[in-house]
Amino acid sequence: MTDRFDSDVVIVGLGPVGATAANLAHDLGLRAVAFDRATDVEPRPRAIGLDQEVMRLFGGLGLADAIADHVMPYRPSEYRNGDGQVIKRIVTAPPPHPLGWAPNYVFDQPQLESALRERLARAADGVDVRLGTEVTDVRLDGDGDGDGATVEAVGPDGRRHTLRTRYVLACDGGASPLRKSMGLRMDDLEFDQPWLVVDLLLRPGAGAGLPRTNVQFCEPARPSTFIVGPGDHRRWEFMINPDERPEDVADPDFIRSLLSRWLAPGDYELWRAATYRFHALVLEQWQMRRRLFFLGDSAHMTPPFLAQGMCQGIRDASNLMWKLALHARGGAGDSLLDTYQPEREPHVRQVTLTAKEFGHVICERDEAAAAKRDSDLLAELAARPEGTIRQSLIPGLSAGFLPPDHVPARGDILPQPTVTDWQGRTGLLDEFTGSGFRVVVRQDARAGYVETALRAHHAADGFPVRLVRLTEGPGGPDDYREVQPVLDDWLRRHACEAVLVRPDHYVFGGVRTTSDITLLLMSARRRLNADVSAPPSTSARS
């Protein structure tokens, strides 16, 4: 880093994805400037679902207590046909939960965004947050002209500002002015359905007759969704019929008529009503010149039927920020930045295609096709009455900063058990170890090989890595005893004595015997320090 840069990173858009990226930038020691056109947090809810990976990240930011009153574990989902029969179930895995948090949650977005912004404001050397300010231009240095970008913005007083930065993150939403200004294309995965989303607050004593679980009403006349939100928050989503206009269905009288099936007008206060087109879109090029990166809705849009829209964007930030920090501060090669799209795009595509598949189940309007759907799903449910576990639908990593395919545990996410440390304190593992690189060792493994390998790694100027040893009893500062053997069981299922874990909690790879840990660390060093002269590919599929 030199004085020719005013910041390490500029973040355009301070919604949940941009605010998460800004908090991670701060914690990773990156100087960041964050812009948002609005002056305040949007007071109405939009996203409503997050998952265990996102809660793990928020827990790592120390926000679990701040948002506790505004989140609630996600209830199972029932798919009901036009006759009211349950034809499909999406359920939650029982405890102990592998990541230390419930697999899925509902939440109130305004309070979550406020907590993220308040954390930025509390930081002594915090992120420079500029609200009411619009980024009007981003110019990337050309080949041989530098290694950064110039950002121009207009503040609330009309004054223009210019700053130099090393990286720019476009977190500017589905309409993404930055994406459009760069002329980048979205790959259409062929899902385009108009829906009305209604959020309401139940009045005291109301709602006793509502479903106690989430419901997908797979009714050809009008498919709809019911979601139990935190506290008195309830959400309905209604598909808009071909003969209806969005502006008409958003009329309060029309909304009351839709809700009359479940509630009387005096039972609730309407919080928000908005019409959307549910899309399945994935950006073809997620970065430009290793300087401009697209995250969240600017890079992909997912139908909401898995409650993964915001989760996808938070994963983008979790995946990218540690790489930017190592590239800017830790001497990592350019090729580390090139792993962003190859890691995130296949993950996003698989989740989006699964959500699209569920959407087609819900949105079937043809009576004959719906009857066949019901018959097929009832047969599946009879064979598997326990239903589908929601988190089983979320993949790991398949490419990028990973060792060869044959390495065990490669690309999986590391479980996070509740542990007791050597001083008798009990908490989730991340609370003690943080989120840097870690070597996690099974309790019956030979630790001497690992300690020798780590000494050799540090002697070779390797990246910082922390030792985490599972143990059955008191030990030293690197030793942790599991309250339940979640992590030890996971290591045994993967036939691993040790694994190397990345800062985003994904496993670089494992070894079947600790005598091989030296080779695993060497493999990670080579990939981390590799540099390439050719420009990065524009698609993970190229």
Domain count, the chain: 2
Alpha-carbon distance of 417 to 419, in angstroms, equals 6
Report if pTM > 0.85: yes
DSSP state of 69: G
Query: Does the pLDDT at position 49 exceed 90?
Result: yes
Say whether both 312 and 458 belong to one domain: no
Chain mean pLDDT for the chain: 94
Say whether both 314 and 425 belong to one domain: no
What is the average per-residue pLDDT within 220-242?
97
16-27 and 309-329 helices cross at what angle (nearest 10)? 30
Residue 332 lies in a domain: yes
pLDDT at 447: 81
Size (the chain), residues: 542
pLDDT at 143: 61
- Report CA-CA distances (Å) from 14 to 143, 296, 301, 306: 30, 11, 18, 24
Element (H, E) at 507: strand 507-511
Domain end, chosen from 303, 336, 369, is at 336
- Report CA-CA distances (Å) from 21 to 24, 121, 165, 326: 5, 14, 16, 15
Residue 170 lies in a domain: yes
Residue 267 lies in a domain: no
Say whether both 172 and 287 belong to one domain: yes
Say whether both 24 and 167 belong to one domain: yes
What is the average per-residue pLDDT within 220-226?
97
CATH code for the domain of 432: 3.40.30.10
Query: What are 488-539's pLDDT values in tens digits?
Result: 999 999 999 999 999 999 999 999 999 999 999 999 999 998 754 334 444 4
Say whether both 315 and 168 belong to one domain: yes
CATH code for the domain of 124: 3.50.50.60
Residue 160 lies in a domain: yes
Domain span holding position 48: 7-71+107-184+282-336
Confidence class for position 469, pLDDT limits 50, 70, 90: very high
